[in-house]
Amino acid sequence: MSIDLEQFHETFFEESFEGLDIMESGLLELEQGEVDLENINTIFRSAHSIKGGSGTFGFTAVAEFTHDMETLLDQMRNGERQVSASVVDTLLGCVDVLRNMLNAIKDGSEIDVASVADMTNALKSILGEESASSVSTNEASPVVAAKGWLVHFKPELDIMKTGNDTVRLLRELNSLAERVEVLVDNEALPSLVEIDPEECYQSWAINLIGGDVSEDDIREVFAWVDDECELNIEPLADEENYVGTERRDDDRRESKTPDRRAIERRNKPAKASESSSIRVNISKVDELINMVGELVITQSMLSQFGEDENFNETYMERLKDGLTQLETHTRELQESVMRIRMMPISFAFQRFPRLVHDLSAHFDKKIELVMTGETTELDKTVLEKIGDPLVHLVRNSLDHGIEAPDVRVQKGKSETGAIHLSAYHQGGNIVIEIKDDGAGLNKAKILEKAKQNGLIGHDDRLTDDQVYDLIFRPGFSTADVVSDVSGRGVGMDVVRRNIRELGGMVEVKSMPGEGSVFTIRLPLTLAILDGQLIGIGEETYILPVISIIESLQVKPECINAVAGNAEVYRLRDEYIPIVRLYQIFGIEPTSEILNEGLLVVVEAEGKKIAIFVDDLLSQQQVVIKSLKTNFKKIEGLSGATILGDGTVALIIDIAELIDLYQKNMARAVVSIKGGGLAA
Amino acid sequence: MANILAVDDSSSMRQMVAFTLKGAGYQVVEAADGQEALNKAKSQNFDLVITDVNMPIMDGITFIRHLRGEANYKFTPMLMLTTESSSDKKAAGKAAGATGWIVKPFNPDQLLSTVKKVLG
């Protein structure tokens, strides 16, 4: 029977990466001086599982590498080895190498042999062995008796109490040789009244004749019981005819040891690993099944009305009831389905203790990482894509935010800086904050740099928040020295772009000398949005409810026209630019007169605009269809949806719309200036 | 057909064992640790138990010791999945009542031939 082991690889990789994460966080705990036996056991088990699995599924290099790790961990859990910082560091390094190896195998690329060899050597020097290879080489070459064997087998009385069965052993012997003669010795059998049926009183003498049986073959049969029996194996007594029974211990076969550097090569093309599986708690699935059950009941209730010909008013009432029920159940079903995709943010957070540990060493800074809200759940896709931007922000705080210990002491702060990573739900959003107690953003430096790069004019007056927001502009970096961690100038703009692609936004607040807070807001899911439908002329657009601050009727006295064809609306003590959507999208409005329509004030990334619309329509949940995959990316729009009447409505991306508006305004200003010069 | 209890905390190993045995026509029940296995073993009968040694909550050897103490499992074959290096584990397992072991790594054919041997 041949079984394709490849079908289990996906699961193996998944659990191995999980195991590596467990090992990593366990090791980091160890490093903080908490020597907890259960923790070491957990780390050991993860290494052990990876070793077992990789051996079974044919990843020899991984199995061999893990073997030494396991040996070291085994010594640690048996108390034979002190837990020291250098041991923990080496093991952390091993975790990295192992992760790379597994990734390489998974993608079908080459394993970095050099790093594996380095780490193996590091492990061996700790273990203090020349060769830790477990492959036993001291087996004598198989001894084959030409004629056959005489086996005396006398089991102990309670051999059957470990589930062993003498009949099985005899059956196995029988399958080895060409001819088998068995002599049973019933001498020890007590009288019937004294017999304990659970004990074994017999012993056997067995002749194995022919069939090239080696002594090892026979010992193999008895391997499980060799501590529960007297076993005597000797060549059949025909002195002249047998050869090679002397054990030649010096004839060891070194070549049996496999090449330690053996690498699994797979010529499969690297596959895109995005379509990975998802583990779902059974209770979530049960919930779904329940909801579907409810739906079926509602359906059967409603279908009655289709069959009955005497449709009257009482039926109408019940039909309405049924439809209400249908709506409730559909919504609950939808929520349950969404929950399946929800995962705790700890999956994204768990890499940070390690990252902070490594980077603190790299920068010679002392940093304490505090994480809260790890159980906050968000969509799996969002979760996977938020990892990199988060890493960037944490690195940034560590590199630019937190000061060196001596500088901190001078400023009267504690030597150890703190980075606080937190997540929580707010409205329909998830908010992630990265807060440090470092120096805060350097306003003067940002302004200088922005002027240098032409991001702002020399006379522009900006609020503090506007200044800080400049760091998210493309091509901006204030690092004095470009380090290998951050400060390559491609950074914050990419962070913002990635977060926007997830339908989210990122802002920064900063206090000189006290630190900075980066706040990321993300939608809980990418699939559904609470939308406000608005009408402009014949068209319907959708605004995310989450970005709407208020909607208002226009008071003509509050409208101010400013230079460059722009209009602003005075709302209490703020001036908010008015955006005429029909101009940007080039459509025909019902009216161009402001007080005949409405203004919807929306906010994104700290900026507000007032969108001029003809009418506010209903609010509803809409299913987001990507424009990028179905058509192409259009600036200012985040997607489209299909409304109840079958028409398509476009969903507006507020942050992009604001950018678009600002660009249009800048162009208008330039053209006026240009016109002025020509005149 | 024989009913087998397969215990391993690694789901890939468990899947592999279960898939192989089911393919050969055995009935297989899976458990992820010793405690879960013990509960399952008490609620139905098994003709063979195959268990990993290193597992969270309850390890394989403790599990075997408990199960061997149950009247229904006095003579039931119980095999440990173990790595070659752990000869002390083998001895500890035997002392707890294990019938024998299957050395890791193993392939499906080795697994099946051992199971066939034990179940006859």
Tens-digit pLDDT profile for residues A270-279:
434 444 667 7
How near does any CA of chain B get to the CA of A13, in Å? 9
Determine the residue of chain B that is closest to A5 in CA distance.
B16
Residue A588, token pair as written in the block:
């025909």
Judged against a pLDDT cut of 50, whether residue A526 lies above it is answered with: yes
Contact A63 B109 (CB under 8 A): no
Best of A48, A51, A75, A196 to disrupt the B interface (most B CBs within 10 Å) is: A48
Contact B10 A136 (CB under 8 A): no
pLDDT at A480: 46
Nearest to A397 by CA among A347, A345, A471: A471
- What are the chain B neighbours of A172 within 8 Å (beta carbons)? 117
What does the mean pLDDT of chain B come to?
A: 88
Residue A68 pLDDT grade (very low, low, confident, very high; cuts 50, 70, 90): confident
How near does any CA of chain A get to the CA of B57, in Å? 10
- What are the chain A neighbours of B99 within 8 Å (beta carbons)? 162-164, 224
Contact B12 A55 (CB under 8 A): no
- What are the chain A neighbours of B33 within 8 Å (beta carbons)? none
pLDDT at A212: 78
Distances (CA, A) of A614 to A12, A417, A648, B64: 57, 53, 18, 76
Task: Give A179 or A268, the one with higher predicted confidence.
Answer: A179
pLDDT tens digits along A360-378: 888 888 888 999 998 888 8
How near does any CA of chain A get to the CA of B16, in Å? 7
pLDDT at A104: 87
Judged against a pLDDT cut of 60, whether residue A250 lies above it is answered with: no
How near does any CA of chain B get to the CA of A337, in Å? 25
Residue A578, token pair as written in the block:
């008015």
B31 touches chain A (CB under 8 A): no
- Catalytic residue flag (residue A595): no
Determine the residue of chain A that is closest to B80 in CA distance.
A224
How near does any CA of chain B get to the CA of A171, in Å? 9
pLDDT at B6: 93
What does the mean pLDDT of chain A come to?
A: 79
In this prediction, residues A99-108 reach a mean pLDDT of 86
What 3-state DSSP class applies to A539? Answer: strand
Determine the residue of chain A that is closest to B97 in CA distance.
A162
In this prediction, residues A105-132 reach a mean pLDDT of 77
- Give percent of chain A above pLDDT 90: 9
Say if CB A127 and CB A71 are below 8 A apart: yes
**CA pair distance A306, A303, nearest whole angstrom:** 5
Predicted ipTM of the assembly? 0.84
Distances (CA, A) of A474 to A463, A491, A494: 20, 8, 8
Nearest to B98 among A162, A165, A168 (CB): A162
Residue A334 pLDDT grade (very low, low, confident, very high; cuts 50, 70, 90): confident
Nearest to A1 among B99, B109, B118 (CB): B109
Task: Give B7 or A130, the one with higher predicted confidence.
Answer: B7
Judged against a pLDDT cut of 50, whether residue A132 lies above it is answered with: no
Contact B23 A3 (CB under 8 A): yes
pLDDT tens digits along A426-435: 866 889 999 9
Say if CB A74 and CB A134 are below 8 A apart: no
Show the 3-state SS of A435-478: EECCCCCCHHHHHHHHHHCCCCCCCCCCCHHHHHHHHHCCCCCC
pLDDT tens digits along A463-476: 888 888 888 887 67
Taking every pair of Cα atoms in chain B, the longest distance, rounded to a whole number of angstroms, is: 34
In this prediction, residues A194-209 reach a mean pLDDT of 84
In this prediction, residues A322-342 reach a mean pLDDT of 83
pLDDT at A34: 66
**CA pair distance A544, A653, nearest whole angstrom:** 8
In this prediction, residues B87-93 reach a mean pLDDT of 81
pLDDT at A322: 84
Nearest to B74 among A71, A161, A171 (CB): A161
Catalytic residue (one of A29, A70, A215, A403): A70
- What are the chain A neighbours of B97 within 8 Å (beta carbons)? 161-163
pLDDT at B28: 92
Contact B23 A63 (CB under 8 A): no
pLDDT at B34: 92
Owner of token pair 């605009």: A609
Lowest pLDDT segment from A180-189, A243-252, A586-595: A243-252
Contact B99 A164 (CB under 8 A): yes
Residue A72 sits at φ, ψ, to 5 deg, of -65, -45
**CA pair distance A33, A27, nearest whole angstrom:** 10
Residue A420 pLDDT grade (very low, low, confident, very high; cuts 50, 70, 90): very high
pLDDT tens digits along A397-419: 888 888 888 889 998 888 889 99
Catalytic residue (one of A164, A396, A403, A605): A396
The total of other beta-carbon atoms located within 10 Å of residue A371's CB is 16
The total of other beta-carbon atoms located within 10 Å of residue B38's CB is 20
- What are the chain B neighbours of A228 within 8 Å (beta carbons)? 94
- Give percent of chain A above pLDDT 70: 85
pLDDT at A77: 82
Domain definitions of chain B by residue range: 3-119
pLDDT tens digits along A529-557: 889 999 998 889 999 988 899 999 988 88
The total of other beta-carbon atoms located within 10 Å of residue B1's CB is 9
Residue A533 sits at φ, ψ, to 5 deg, of -85, 135
How near does any CA of chain B get to the CA of A156, in Å? 14
Examine residue A190 and say whether the peptide bond preceding it is cis (omega within 30 degrees of 0): no
Judged against a pLDDT cut of 90, whether residue A599 lies above it is answered with: yes
Determine the residue of chain A that is closest to B15 in CA distance.
A8
Nearest to A162 among B11, B15, B99 (CB): B99
Nearest to A384 by CA among A492, A277, A491, A274: A274
Query: How many Cβ pairs within 8 Å bridge chains A and B?
Result: 111
In this prediction, residues B7-21 reach a mean pLDDT of 90
Q: Where are the alpha helices (DSSP H) in A309-442?
A: 313-340, 346-349, 352-363, 380-396, 405-410
pLDDT at B62: 92
In this prediction, residues B21-30 reach a mean pLDDT of 90
Nearest to A643 by CA among A549, A514, A544, A531: A531
Owner of token pair 């060549």: A235
Contact A168 B117 (CB under 8 A): yes
Taking any CB pair shorter than 8 Å as contact, residues of chain A touching chain B are 1-3, 5, 7-9, 11-12, 15, 42, 44-45, 48-49, 51-53, 55-57, 63, 67, 71, 134, 136, 160-165, 167-168, 171-172, 198, 223-225, 227-228
Say if CB B34 and CB B51 are below 8 A apart: yes
pLDDT at B84: 63
In this prediction, residues A645-669 reach a mean pLDDT of 84
Taking every pair of Cα atoms in chain A, the longest distance, rounded to a whole number of angstroms, is: 129
Lowest pLDDT segment from A42-56, A207-221, A233-247, B26-40: A233-247
pLDDT tens digits along A552-574: 998 888 888 887 678 899 988 88
Residue A633 pLDDT grade (very low, low, confident, very high; cuts 50, 70, 90): confident
Contact B23 A1 (CB under 8 A): yes
- What are the chain A neighbours of B11 within 8 Å (beta carbons)? 11, 15
pLDDT at A488: 46
Nearest to B12 among A12, A42, A224 (CB): A12
Owner of token pair 């659970």: A198
Residue A182 sits at φ, ψ, to 5 deg, of -120, 130
- Judged by phi (left if over 0) then psi (alpha if -120 to 50, else beta), residue A454 lies in left
Best of A6, A8, A41, A229 to disrupt the B interface (most B CBs within 10 Å) is: A8
How near does any CA of chain B get to the CA of A223, in Å? 8
Contact B75 A161 (CB under 8 A): yes
Judged against a pLDDT cut of 80, whether residue A146 lies above it is answered with: no
The total of other beta-carbon atoms located within 10 Å of residue B12's CB is 25
In this prediction, residues B12-35 reach a mean pLDDT of 90
User: Residues 34 to 73 of B: which have CB under 8 A from any A CB?
Assistant: 52, 54-56, 68
Residue A136 pLDDT grade (very low, low, confident, very high; cuts 50, 70, 90): very low
- What are the chain A neighbours of B77 within 8 Å (beta carbons)? 163-165
Judged against a pLDDT cut of 80, whether residue A679 lies above it is answered with: no
How near does any CA of chain A get to the CA of B113, in Å? 11
Interhelix angle A113-127/A85-107, nearest 10 degrees: 150
Judged against a pLDDT cut of 90, whether residue A459 lies above it is answered with: no
Contact B94 A227 (CB under 8 A): yes
- Catalytic residue flag (residue A70): yes
- Cα–chain-centroid distance for residue B76? 11
- Rounded to two decimals, the pTM is 0.55
Beta strand pairing status for A548-553 and A505-511? unpaired
Nearest to B118 among A1, A56, A168 (CB): A168
B94 touches chain A (CB under 8 A): yes
pLDDT at B49: 94
Most confident of A62-66, A114-118, A369-373: A369-373
Q: What is B3-119's CATH number?
A: 3.40.50.2300
Say if CB A401 and CB A436 are below 8 A apart: yes
In this prediction, residues A79-104 reach a mean pLDDT of 85
B13 touches chain A (CB under 8 A): yes
- Catalytic residue flag (residue A396): yes
Contact A224 B83 (CB under 8 A): no
**CA pair distance A661, A653, nearest whole angstrom:** 12
What 3-state DSSP class applies to A295? Answer: helix
pLDDT at A418: 92
